[in-house]
Amino acid sequence: MASELYPGIAPSLLSSLVRPQGPQWTPDALRDLVTRVGTELAGPLLDLVRFASPQRWWARLALTEEVELWLLSWLPGQHTEPHDHGGASGAFTVVLGSLSETYRYSRGPVGHRTHAPGSALGFGAGRAHQVWNTGLAKAASVHAYSPPLVPTREYASLLDIPDHLPPLPPARSLAALRLEPVEP
């Protein structure tokens, strides 16, 4: 199986955590992955994370045929636009600070929750959300998606989500993509 791992971040542990489960990971498996990465690699992740403005900073930690894993930073006020994950299931956990999330499944009500450090969430393909740092402190989070490389769709509002979210094809193949370290 082809895979790419971020250089210097516990390659043997990362490799064992993203081993094949396939062909797609469930939301529960993705939640378990981000929980383990956020817990077992908290020190190296906090050493790696950088904070940037106006655009958020991120680094892809792992990419396989089945899953991709990211580390993201959030300065106070930074956020995503409302978006879905193109038919991919996902998960995230907060490793520093806290994040607010507004979310909605097709045909469902809009919900809101705040995620504290250590909280983790797995979600299915039919979910859209907006995530932001509404606090006064910096935040960092680990995210995972399966299948990998699926583009997101943005919306003006979570109320604009259609009744059905068809899956999108991957943006690129794993063979065509190589990870590059992110400069601090």
Q: Kindly report, residue by residue over 119-165, the tens digit of the pLDDT.
A: 999 999 889 999 999 999 999 999 999 999 999 999 999 999 998 88
Q: Is residue 13 part of a domain?
A: no
Q: Is residue 45 part of a domain?
A: yes
Instruction: Report the predicted TM-score, pTM, of the whole model to 2 decimal places.
Output: 0.90
Query: How far is Cα 131 from Cα 94, in angstroms, rounded to an integer?
Result: 11
User: Which pLDDT score is estimated for 138?
Assistant: 98
What is the residue range of 84's domain?
19-168
- Report whether pLDDT(2) > 60: no
Cis-peptide into 109, omega within 30 deg: no
Q: Is residue 155 situated within a structural domain?
A: yes
Confidence at residue 11, expressed as pLDDT on a 0 to 100 scale:
85
pLDDT at 182 > cutoff 60: no
DSSP 167: P
Cα separation, 90 vs 133, in Å, equals: 19
Q: What integer pLDDT is reported at residue 152 of this predicted model?
A: 94
Round to whole Å and give the CA distance between 83 and 150: 12
Q: What is 99-111 written as a DSSP string?
A: EEEEEEETTS--E
Stretch 35-41: mean pLDDT? 97
Whether 93 and 153 have beta carbons less than 8 Å apart is answered as: no
pLDDT of residue 51: 97
In a domain, 32, yes or no: yes
**Does 26 reside within a domain?**
yes
Residue 180 lies in a domain: no
Is residue 33 situated within a structural domain?
Answer: yes
Taken in order 147, 150, 152, 158, the sign of the CA dihedral is: negative
- For the record, the structure tokens of 3 come out as 């895979």
Identify the CATH number of the domain in which residue 122 sits: 2.60.120.10
Number of structural domains, the chain?
1
Q: 61: pLDDT confidence band, cut at 50, 70 and 90?
A: very high
